Amino acid sequence: MAELYLAVEQGPRGVSKLVVLKRLRPHLLERGDMQAMLVDEARLGARFNHRNLVEVIDLDQVDGEPYYVMRYVPGADLRTVLGLLRDRQEPLPLSLAVFVASELASALHHAHELRDAGGQRLGVVHRDVSTSNVRLSMGGGVTLLDFGVAKSRGQSTQTRVGATKGNAAYMAPEQCYGHAVDRRADVFALGIVLYEMVTTQRLFAASNAADSMVRVCTAPIVPPSVIRPELPKRLDKIILRALERDPARRFSSAATFGHALEQLAEGHAWSAGGSVLTRLMGSLFERPATPSDPVLPQGSEATPRSERSTEIQPCSYPTEPTDELATLPRMPTVPLAS
């Protein structure tokens, strides 16, 4: 649906920072529903105020083409990390898997609990929680990405009854059937992600989306401890509860799922996950060259956003940390919104 660009937001006196710009693919620019989905995603992202979510910095348009700007997270997606570990025949440390899942549960709960100005819940459901949409930073952070197919009250576009959106291999059964979904669909998807972290094996993947959905709805779920015998039985039960096909039998919220994981980690005295993640990322990837944090000199006045600019360089959201700025071609400067 969309293209991602690495960009540099440039301010006064050499102040700059890396950001990511998201825009529609050229063949979708004439579709009003696609433009509305991009704007809906940006408006939702602007509400985020959580360490594990990427906040939207700006929403604007150029020549009628909408785009938005968000924070850049140097690192790699979880799917890439698991693939590298699988190639090395190395397991992901259990403490780290639980840490990542706990952070994601916290992010989801924040999104699920978002309210409008009148105090009413927006009813947000991500609907696309997957290993591809989890970003692990070089500094040990965990970020949930891409609310592009999220559902919330007040959207300008709505999914029709019977339609499905999201990655088929991470859908909840009710999502596969095209039924109404709530936050428990994201709990199921997070259960899949955690299962795949502790086993480094795909759970419902198949050769096509239809077969994946059949597996989601009918395939027996082998307890992860069968694949990884050292798995604590309590973690086995937590994962299998999240993967209950009946939503009423799952954790009722991402918060209760996360709380169960936190209690498990405390009971095993597992070390701080952030430092473990930093060491893992350092062992898998060469740390990229990044500009120093921008500092505004004392006595200077901040430049209005209308006077700032963003230098745009096309890239897929990097799956491996590299020095993108040194290798990508220069593009014209595009002004940010005031």
Q: How far apart are CA 43 and CA 27, in angstroms?
A: 23
Q: How many CA within 13 A on the CB side of residue 153?
A: 13
Query: Distance (Å, rounded) from C-alpha 68 to C-alpha 53?
Result: 15
**Phi, psi values for residue 18, rounded to 5°:** -80, 135
Closest to 189 in 3D by CA, of 166, 161, 215, 223: 166
* Residues 75, 281 contacting (CB under 8 angstroms): yes
Does the active-site annotation cover 87? no
Look-up of token digits 């990542």: 100
Q: Which residues pair with 325 in a beta bridge?
A: none
Contact 134, 80 (CB under 8 A): no
CA distance 1 to 37: 10
**What SS3 class is residue 12?**
helix
Give 125's DSSP letter: B
**Do the Cβ atoms of 207 and 215 come closer than 8 Å?**
no
Catalytic residue, chosen from 58, 77, 128, 146, is 128
Q: How far apart are CA 153 and CA 252, in angstroms?
A: 20
Angle 289-295-297 (CA atoms, 0-180°, nearest 5)? 145
| Cα 172 to chain centroid, rounded | 17
Q: Which residues are catalytic?
A: 128
